[in-house]
Amino acid sequence: MTEQNQNEKQIHETTTEARAGSTPGVARYVLGIGTALVVILFIIIILVTRA
């Protein structure tokens, strides 16, 4: 197996080239909004169950 690996050419790419593009960073907004909604939902549940 080592002979086969030595004969193969190595490809060097940057992370952007390997991804075939760039990441827009939308995930952080989705996580932030989701967390805020969960906190608001818990507050509503606490206020409703007190009454």
pLDDT at 46: 96
Q: How far apart are CA 39 and CA 42, in angstroms?
A: 5
* Cβ atoms of residues 37 and 44 within 8 Å: no
Amino acid at 19: R
Q: Tell me the domain boundaries of the chain.
A: 24-51
| Model pLDDT, residue 4 | 58
Which residues does 16 contact at the CB level (< 8 Å), separation at least 6? 22
* pLDDT string in tens for the chain (51-residue length): 555 566 678 888 877 777 776 667 888 899 999 999 999 999 999 999 996
The predicted model scores a pTM of 0.53
First to last CA, the chain: 71
